[in-house]
């Protein structure tokens, strides 16, 4: 895999590796409330986290890229470009979906904006993506604010998009276009 490391003013983003399993499990298993709006449940065992990493690694970097996000060597979150698609039948699409989480004690300090901007720059720059999409669960005010800061335009609501925790949830979709790929 080519070097996909990214450095920002305060953060180091490194592609996900098997060696990250224990650290990811250690932090996510202590913050079940952090997973309320995420697409996964908090891991209840190291094996859960290992399964997540083992699912992701063979897909990298063609179908997705997940980065660990570190501040002074300490894991503060994950961010990824998921469902990377270059071609769908006769259509060139060059798109991906962005997803992320930040540990509660690091929220509200601009890390989401910093890591999001870095990954968007990577997606539009070196990866040559045309569009990056995002979604957040209605009610997730932090994600709504972050995506607005990053320049995402809300394009619609998917009603009752998924079932979790005993109810159906609505999602807001947003998108960001790479102005350098416009014809």
Determine the Cα–Cα distance for residues 122 and 106; give it in Å rounded to an integer.
Answer: 23
CA angle 30, 34, 38 (to 5 degrees): 125
Order of strands across the sheet that contains 6-7: 6-7, 11-15, 65-71, 74-88, 91-102, 131-137, 167-177, 153-164
> Of 39, 182, 65, which is closest to residue 120 (Cα–Cα)?
65
The answer to whether 90 and 81 have CB atoms below 8 angstroms apart is: no
List the chain pLDDT tens, one digit each, 183 residues.
468 999 999 999 999 999 999 999 988 877 766 666 776 666 778 998 899 899 999 999 999 999 999 999 999 999 999 999 999 999 999 999 999 999 989 999 999 999 999 999 999 999 999 999 999 999 899 999 999 999 999 999 999 998 988 899 999 999 999 988 765
Q: Cα-Cα-Cα-Cα dihedral of 114, 176, 172, 96, to 10°?
A: -90
Domains along the chain with CATH numbers? 6-181 (3.40.630.30)
């Amino acid at each position: 895999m080519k070097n996909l490391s990214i450095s920002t003013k305060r953060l180091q983003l490194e592609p996900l590796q098997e060696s990250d399993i224990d650290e990811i499990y250690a932090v996510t298993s202590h913050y079940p409330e952090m997973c309320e709006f995420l697409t996964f449940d908090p891991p209840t065992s190291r094996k859960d986290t290992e399964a997540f990493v083992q699912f992701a690694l063979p897909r990298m970097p063609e179908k997705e890229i997940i980065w660990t996000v570190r501040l002074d060597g300490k894991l503060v979150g994950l961010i990824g470009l998921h469902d990377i698609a270059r071609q769908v039948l006769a259509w060139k699409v060059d798109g991906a979906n962005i997803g992320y989480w930040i540990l509660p004690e690091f929220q509200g300090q601009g890390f989401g904006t910093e890591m999001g901007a870095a990954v968007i720059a990577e997606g539009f720059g070196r990866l040559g993506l045309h569009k990056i999409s995002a979604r957040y669960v209605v009610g997730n005010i932090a994600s709504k604010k972050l995506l607005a800061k990053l320049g995402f335009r809300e394009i619609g609501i998917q009603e009752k998009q998924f079932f979790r925790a005993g109810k159906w949830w609505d999602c807001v979709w947003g998108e960001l276009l790479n102005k350098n790929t416009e014809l």
